[in-house]
Structure 1
Amino acid sequence: MIRPRSSHGLLDPLLRLLFPALMLLLLNGCASVGYYSQLASGQWQLLRARTPVAEVVADPARDPQLRAHLEQSQQARAFASEHLHLPDNQSYRLYADIGRPYVVWNVFATPEFSLQAQTHCFPIAGCVAYRGYYNQGAARGAAALLQQQGMDVAVSGVEAYSTLGWFNDPIISSMMHWGDERLATLIFHELAHQRFYVQDDTEFNESFATFVEQQGTRQWRAYRGLPPASEAQVQQRDQFTQLLLDTRQRLEHLYAQALPAEQMRERKAAQFEQLRQDYRQLRDSQWHGDKRYDAWINAPINNARLLPFGLYDQWVPAFAALFKQVGGDWPAFYDAVQTLGKRPPAERKAELRRLAQL
């Protein structure tokens, strides 16, 4: 049987993706048609925009800075498969110019007095704590509707995402403003999603990929004979993240109380103000006035803005402990992660808590 193929041999996976999505359209009614249609259209446009990195690098008509940046990225891409044992496929060996700063905009939402994300379920990725839009206006429109319902909402631009191995994901032009090392860390992170993924557990998946990104970057620097990343920068990142996680914990305790709505709002606002005060004290006393996080902390804060930090960082210490247990052996680590990921959700979370305390 002859099957149609795209220029990169990826049309069959596309059909496998769109078929269950089409079934969802038929089952879920007209309200879902527009959303799933923009998902299919956006992904198809991204696929059509791909060009092999090797062709871009070899083309003298292309911007020299772009060519040099992409050439450096391919060294990190090779390292990812050869040394981190991440998938060896065409992902991140292709390039796509999309002509906009973000590839998608994610909309996060929580109830006013809860840190429980509004989840959305998809045929491939399972249930996740956000909804993605290829158009910024559509994302803002969806956010406005949720705000009218009394939800806490945040819209976040995303430079890249993983299709979990269903497609050969490209390096996207939205990633090109990063330095060579940041681009490498993104490649490690997204390939980790292809390596292993648990449906319906965003915290597990993102923490796992974040650990692979961080540990992979340490090894990538050592491989190139570079010293470890500045301890000050790493410490600042970790301290800032901890401030946000501590705030989440205090808010969870607050929301568990039976308080009148107005009193709850006042105490919620007080928690966000305490976060700002704690940040400024940390910045001025330990960071020598470094203002790298000022823009984030001075913008309006709500439950939804705190969500990505818990999702991406919550279990990183647990995966670090697991990596140490297997002696830093990547294949053994992935086997252990896969075993852990197959356990029932409650058992999986209990084991992650245990590992995080080691």
Structure 2
Amino acid sequence: MGLLLSACGGLRYYAHVAHGQSQLLLKQRPVDRVIADPATSPALARRLELARQARRFASQQLGLPDNRSYTRYVELGRPYVVWNVFATPRYSVDAVRHCFPVAGCVAYRGYFDEAKAKGEAARMKAEGDDVYVGGVSAYSTLGWFADPILSSMLRWDDDELAGTIFHELAHQLIYVQDDSAFNESFASFVQEQGLKEWRASRKLPPLLGREQAEDDGFTRLVLDLRNRLRQAYARGGDEAALEAAKQAEIAAFRERYRQWREANWPDDHRYDAWVAAPINNARLLPFGLYDQWKPAFAALFHQGEGQWPVFYADVRRLAKLPRDARDGELRRLAGATAGGQAP
């Protein structure tokens, strides 16, 4: 009966995903046509023109796929295209994983409808899991469909818009099943390096890096909390002891954050609301996913003398390795970066 219920649940979920994707296909309009439409506001036309230029740059200068993705536009009428549901057991920091035919196993389940996402989160919470629901402004179908520019993407600044196009096209170029850290770190490196080249091509000054430094520092604090919780859970005990250890670690994290911010970024409060809100294991899952192996990919790019075709060939070689061998090679490359052998 468990298998039958799981199968039925799976069929309902896939029907929901198919319906959501079909709605995007039905609503999309060619970017060229939207820009030329007299009814289009000047502000929207400007952002779409920027996206069109970034899309061209991605293929011509970064060697990313040259296809119909990001040549069409969809007005969603909602703030996010998808809501991802993350879950962990109550006393574990390891994700409840979900496996799919194409994407492989990932640490979340995405819903086109916020109410459905919250309903799934409520169900998993009732079963005892920690849950977190996060809105997503863009995603990749890995080339199965022509991914459009979404109105949710236009809420970002120009750099984030262009960089996201680079990021999602990188997923179409190289993707390894069941290795989210590899996939997201690769795409994030392409996004950041591509953005540097994009800004240089437009004669814009390099980004100062202050915001990235602060983001990296906060991420390290959160990953440290996750490691401390993992150790606390490993020590074991009854439920009362585990819950007390969990809450003590979260309280200590808030104090470490306060000290870190006051010492380094006293006038910046952008993370205060996140830290003050309820924290559980699942809320920590997205952190580190996008940058774990970025130093390794930076070293690989440097070894290839900044030539995108050489870099992509090296990444494909890594992608073909067994998981343990691939992680070992990435650790070696990341160590080279830390040792000063790569920028």
What is the identity, as a one-letter code, of the residue corresponding to 2:69?
S
What's the secondary structure of 2:289's corresponding residue? helix
What is the identity, as a one-letter code, of the residue corresponding to 2:194?
G
What's the secondary structure of 1:46's corresponding residue? helix
What's the secondary structure of 1:29's corresponding residue? helix
Q: Deviations over 1:81-137 (max 9, x none)?
A: 111111111111110112111111000011112221111111221111110111101
Name 2:205's counterpart in structure 1: 227
What is the identity, as a one-letter code, of the residue corresponding to 1:267?
A
What's the secondary structure of 2:78's corresponding residue? coil
What's the secondary structure of 1:346's corresponding residue? helix
What is the identity, as a one-letter code, of the residue corresponding to 1:197?
Y
Q: Deviations over 1:270-292 (max 9, x none)?
A: 22222222222222221132011
Name 2:55's counterpart in structure 1: 77
| 1:346 corresponds to 2:310 | no
Name 1:88's counterpart in structure 2: 66
Q: TM-score, normalised by structure 2?
A: 0.93
| 1:147 corresponds to 2:121 | no
Q: How many residues align?
A: 334
Name 1:191's counterpart in structure 2: 169
Identity of aligned residues (%): 57
Most deviating of 28-37 and 91-100:
28-37
Most deviating of 226-235 and 338-347:
226-235
Aligned pairs for 1:20-59 within 5 A: 29-59=7-37
Matched residues in 2 for 1:350 and 1:259: separation?
Answer: 34
Matched residues in 1 for 2:132 and 2:167: separation?
Answer: 23
Superposed displacement of residue 192, structure 1: 0.7
Of the three residues 122, 135, 142, the one matched with 1:164 is: 142
| Structure 1 gaps, min length 5 | 1-24
Name 2:288's counterpart in structure 1: 310
Most deviating of 25-34 and 92-101:
25-34
Of the three residues 115, 134, 137, the one matched with 2:112 is: 134
Matched residues in 2 for 1:308 and 1:46: separation?
Answer: 25
What's the secondary structure of 1:310's corresponding residue? coil
| Structure 2 gaps, min length 5 | 337-343
Matched residues in 1 for 2:173 and 2:185: separation?
Answer: 14
Q: TM-score, normalised by structure 1?
A: 0.90
Name 2:215's counterpart in structure 1: 237
What is the identity, as a one-letter code, of the residue corresponding to 1:254?
A
Superposed displacement of residue 57, structure 1: 0.6
Most deviating of 156-165 and 113-122:
113-122
| 1:207 corresponds to 2:192 | no
Matched residues in 2 for 1:327 and 1:115: separation?
Answer: 39
What is the identity, as a one-letter code, of the residue corresponding to 2:157?
G
C-alpha spacing 1:150/1:28, structure 2 compared with 1 (3 Å): closer
Matched residues in 1 for 2:174 and 2:259: separation?
Answer: 40
Hey, which bits of structure 1, 4+ residues long, moved more than 6 A? none
Cα-Cα RMSD:
1.7
| 1:298 corresponds to 2:265 | no
